[in-house]
Structure 1
Amino acid sequence: MHQPYLPGMTMPPRPTESRDARTALASYPDMTTEDVCRYAKFLGASAELLVDSLFMRLGERVFPMPEHERCDRALILPNGTPIRIQVKTRHAVSINGDYVFNLRQRSERGATGRGPYESCDFDILAMVALSEGVMRFTADWQLRQVIHASEITELRRNPRRSLDAALARLGHTDAIPCGWDGDLDLAA
C-alpha cells in the first residue's frame, strides 16, 4: 500500500517509454549508440540543466529559451544585456580522449535536422562533456570545437574561467565579477 500524493488522487503508472529510459540511462555513459540516439532528448536536457546549475552556482541569471529558438538559454548580464547561449553535449571521446563538437542543429539525417548553425544564431557556445560533468564556454566561432582531455581537470577546478574569457571576447569585461586581466586566447 502506498500513500497518495494528494488526497483522493493516485499517480498514474509510469509510461513504458519512461521505464525503458530509466533502464537504458542507468548505464550512462556506457550505452549503445542506439540508446544514446533514442534518449538524446533526455541527455540534451540533462546537459542544459547542468549548465543551469553552474550559472546558478555562479550567481548568474539564465533563462531557458523555447524549443523553436536558435539558442537554448539567455544569460542576462548585470546591465540587462541578453547573451544567447547554445548548449551542445558529447557523450563519447575521440581516440585521444578529447570531446569533439561538430556544430549542427540536431541530426542532419533525422527529419528535424536543419544543418549547421550560422554565426548569428548564438553568442556563446556551452560545450558539455556530460560524462565528466564539465563544460567549456567559447565565443570563438568555429563549426568544430574541442574539449581536450588535458583541460578537464582545470574546467572542473575553475568552471567560471572559460565563461569569463567568452564574455571578454564579446567585449563584456564589465560583466566579469572580479574583472578581466586574462588572455583572450582562452576563449578560443
Structure 2
Amino acid sequence: MQQLFLPNMVMPSRPMEIRDAREALAMYPKMSTPDLCRYAKYLGSAAELLVDSIFMRLGERVYPMPEHERHDRVLILPDDTPVRVQVKTRHSVNANGDYVFNLRQRSERGSTGRGPYAATDFDILAMAILAEGVVRFTADWHSRHVVHVSEITHLRRNPRASLDAALARLGHTDAIPGGWDHDLDLAA
C-alpha cells in the first residue's frame, strides 16, 4: 500500500536515470570511473552541501552562487565582507593514502576541464572529502593541494580550525570567534 502525500495524488514513478543513480551512488566511494564521471554533478552538489553544512554548524552565513560563476559560495563575514569560496572534492586517495586536489575547472563537454583557475577567481578553497565527511579550507594559492590522511581526524574533530587559518591568512582575524593568536606563517 502506498501512502498518498495529498488526497488523490499519486507520485510518478522514478525515472530510470534516478534509479540508476541511486544504485551506482549506493556504492560510493567504491564506484567505477565511468560512474564517477557520470554522476560528477551529484557528487559535486553533495560536496557543496557538505561545505554548507559545516558553515551552518559554525554559525556562518553562506550563499550559493550561480553555476557560471568562478566560485561556488560567498561567505558573508560579521562585518558584511564577502569572501568567495570555491568547493572541490576528491573521491579517491593516492598511493600514500592522501587526497590530492588539482585545481582545474570542469567542463560540461568532457573531463579535461576549462583550464586552471586564476588566483583572482576565489578567496578560499574548500577541499571536501565526501568519503570522510570532512572539509579543509585554505587561502593559500596553489594549483595542487594535498590533504594527508593523518589530517582527517583533526578536520573531523575541529572543522573550524582550517577555516580560521584561512580567514587569518586573508587578514580577517576580526571575523574569527575568540580571536586569532597563532602564527600567520602557519595558516593554511
Distance 1:109 1:186 in 2: 39
Distance 1:112 1:8 in 2: 48
Distance 1:19 1:124 in 2: 35
Distance 2:161 2:65 in 1: 24
Distance 1:112 1:30 in 2: 22
Structure 1 moving runs of 4+ over 6 Å: none
Question: By how many angstroms is 1:187 displaced?
Answer: 3.2
Distance 1:14 1:108 in 2: 25
The amino acid of 2:31's aligned partner reads M
The amino acid of 2:153's aligned partner reads T
Pair 155,92 (structure 1): closer, same or farther in 2 beyond 3 Å: same
Q: The residue matched to 2:113 in structure 1 has which SS?
A: coil
Identify the residue that residue 176 of structure 2 maps to in structure 1: 176
Identify the residue that residue 23 of structure 2 maps to in structure 1: 23
Question: By how many angstroms is 1:52 displaced?
Answer: 0.5
Asked if 1:103 is matched to 2:82, the reply is no
The amino acid of 2:146's aligned partner reads V
Distance 2:39 2:186 in 1: 33
Distance 2:153 2:111 in 1: 38
Structure 2 residue ranges without an equivalent (≥5): none
Pair 108,100 (structure 1): closer, same or farther in 2 beyond 3 Å: farther
Identify the residue that residue 41 of structure 1 maps to in structure 2: 41
Q: How many residues align?
A: 188
The amino acid of 1:142's aligned partner reads H
Distance 1:153 1:185 in 2: 23
Identify the residue that residue 166 of structure 1 maps to in structure 2: 166
Residues 73 and 84 in structure 1, CA contact (< 8 A), matched pair in contact too: yes
Distance 1:39 1:176 in 2: 36
CA RMSD, 1 decimal: 1.6
**What fraction of aligned residue pairs are identical, expressed as a percent?**
76
CA offsets 1:122-162 (integer angstroms, 9 cap, x no match): 00000011111111000000000010111111111111000
Identify the residue that residue 50 of structure 2 maps to in structure 1: 50
CA offsets 1:84-130 (integer angstroms, 9 cap, x no match): 00000000001001100000001597188321100111000000111
Residues 72 and 85 in structure 1, CA contact (< 8 A), matched pair in contact too: yes
Distance 2:109 2:10 in 1: 41
Pair 118,78 (structure 1): closer, same or farther in 2 beyond 3 Å: same
Distance 2:148 2:111 in 1: 32
CA offsets 1:69-93 (integer angstroms, 9 cap, x no match): 1100010000001100000000000
Identify the residue that residue 138 of structure 2 maps to in structure 1: 138
The amino acid of 2:73's aligned partner reads R
Residues 71 and 84 in structure 1, CA contact (< 8 A), matched pair in contact too: yes
Residues 162 and 186 in structure 1, CA contact (< 8 A), matched pair in contact too: no
Pair 54,81 (structure 1): closer, same or farther in 2 beyond 3 Å: same
Identify the residue that residue 75 of structure 1 maps to in structure 2: 75
Pair 171,131 (structure 1): closer, same or farther in 2 beyond 3 Å: same
TM-score, normalization: structure 1? 0.95
